């Protein structure tokens, strides 16, 4: 079965990467979809986010079934175009649940043949988000352990550069 993992990934965190690694083991293939979220103003361009995800995934040993796409339109339409039957999302805490329930229900109403399946966050990453990474870096803190090692310098350069 093929799945997709849509999100904003501004930038990808270790929490996202953990979901990618776990989902890649459950499904035959996983398409990571960078989707526009009108509620969020992004710091990294879509191309930058794609490169950062690809670089992070490339460093995962034994993961060879993940592809990264810059999506557009409705997630269910994009998933269908790729032949994905499942939408993967992550849940960190109860606070994520309401939003995720709303999204999953809307997607179910739009396309009943695509199921949303949730992965619960690993406790180490349950308080980690892209916005935490952005805030810590912008204020001169260390993002070690928050973003994948191979992209840390690049993420830091962009986020601290933004401060100047």
- To the query of whether residue 24 is one of the catalytic residues in this protein, the response is no
Of 40, 45, 64, 81, catalytic: 40
Q: Would you call 69 a catalytic residue per the annotation? A: no
- Per CB under 6 A, residues contacting ligand ADP are 7-9, 13, 15-16, 19, 37, 40, 89-92, 96, 121, 125, 128-130
Burial of 100 (0-12, 13-18, 19+ CB in 10 A): middle
Q: How far is the CB of 15 from ligand ADP (least distance, A)?
A: 2
> Which of 69, 89, 92, 134 is the catalytic position?
92
Peptide bond into 5 cis (omega under 30): no
Nearest CB to ligand ADP, comparing residues 128 and 156: 128
Identify any residues that bridge with 120 across adjacent strands, giving them in sequence order. Answer: 91
Q: Which is nearer to ligand ADP, 89 or 134 (CB)?
A: 89
Name which of 44 and 156 has its Cβ closer to ligand ADP.
44
In the numeric block, which tokens belong to residue 101?
Answer: 């329930």
CB atoms within 10 A of CB 39: 7
> Which residue of the chain is nearest ligand ADP when measured via CB?
15
What CA–CA distance (Å, rounded) separates 43 from 60?
A: 25
11 preceded by a cis bond (ω within 30 of 0): yes
Catalytic residues: 16, 40, 92, 130
């Amino acid at each position: 079965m093929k799945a997709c993992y849509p999100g904003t990934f501004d930038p990808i965190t270790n929490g996202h990467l953990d979901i990618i690694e776990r989902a890649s083991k459950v499904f035959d293939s996983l398409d990571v979809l960078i989707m526009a979220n009108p509620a969020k103003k992004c710091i990294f361009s879509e191309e930058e986010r794609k490169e950062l995800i690809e670089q992070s995934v490339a460093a995962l040993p034994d993961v060879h079934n993940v592809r990264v796409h810059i999506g557009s339109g409705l997630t269910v339409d994009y998933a269908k175009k790729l032949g994905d039957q499942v939408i993967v999302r992550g849940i960190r805490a109860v606070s994520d649940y309401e939003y995720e329930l709303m999204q999953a229900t809307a997607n179910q109403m739009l396309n009943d043949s695509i199921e949303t399946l949730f992965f619960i966050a690993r406790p180490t990453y349950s308080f980690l988000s892209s916005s935490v990474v952005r805030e810590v870096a912008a204020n001169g803190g260390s993002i070690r352990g928050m973003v994948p090692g191979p992209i840390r310098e690049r993420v830091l350069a962009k986020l601290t550069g933004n401060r100047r």
